[in-house]
């Protein structure tokens, strides 16, 4: 098996693009989390660290632009990061390899189905 016999699915440029997308999403969410935690501690907004929030209350907090909304915003950025990566791979492989494009399409359909079932 040699380089000539091997077909790499991603070009080096695409590898860099996907790398930046994933790392950028994680970094952005962590920055938002850090600001949110500092502000929450400074304003004594957290009384119970393990208090869970529903999606609705996270959305309400974001809409009212309070400190917990900022943390919720970081969480949504984080959850969106792998999803955006999947959509980016669909776009990328739609131009290069239709067979490989099918895989992320099926994955995203399954994720949406799972979310819809539990909602």
Partner 1 sequence: MAVAETLLILLLISIVIGVVGSLLGIGGGVFLIPIMTLCLGIDIKVAAATSLVTIIVTSSTSAPRYLREGLVNVSLGMFLEVFTVTGAIIGAIAVAYISQSYIEALFGIVLIYAAVYMAIGMERRSESHKALHPASSDSRFNGRFRDESTDETRYYGVKNLPRGAFAGFIAGNLSGLIGVGGGVVKVPAMHIWMGVPVKAAVATSNFMIGVTAVASALVYLANGLVAPAITAAAAIGIFIGAVIGSRTLHRITGRSLRIMFSILLVVISAIMFLRAGGIL
Q: Which residues bind partner 1 (CB under 8 A)?
A: 1-3, 5-7, 9-10, 15-16, 18-20, 22-23, 25-27, 29-30, 33-34, 36-37, 40-41, 46-47, 49-55, 57-58, 68, 71-72, 74-75, 78-79, 81-83, 85-86, 89, 99-100, 103-104, 106-107, 110-111, 113-115, 117-119
Minimum Å distance from CB 82 to partner 1? 4
Q: Could you give the C-alpha distances from 88 to 30, 85, 116, in angstroms and in order?
A: 22, 5, 22
Residues 6+ apart with CB under 8 A from 18: 10, 85, 88, 89
Nearest distance from residue 39's CB to partner 1, in Å? 11
Neighbours of 70 (CB within 10 A): 20
């Amino acid at each position: 098996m040699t380089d000539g016999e091997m077909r790499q699915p991603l070009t080096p440029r695409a590898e860099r693009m996907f790398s930046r997308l994933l790392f950028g999403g994680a970094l952005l969410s962590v920055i938002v989390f850090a600001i949110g935690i500092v502000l929450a501690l400074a304003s004594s907004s957290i009384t119970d660290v393990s208090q869970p929030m529903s999606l609705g209350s996270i959305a309400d907090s974001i809409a009212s632009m309070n400190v917990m909304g900022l943390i919720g915003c970081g969480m949504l950025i984080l959850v969106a990061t792998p999803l955006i990566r999947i959509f980016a791979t669909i776009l990328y492989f739609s131009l290069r390899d239709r067979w490989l494009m099918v895989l992320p399409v099926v994955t995203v359909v399954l994720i949406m189905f799972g979310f819809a079932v539990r909602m």
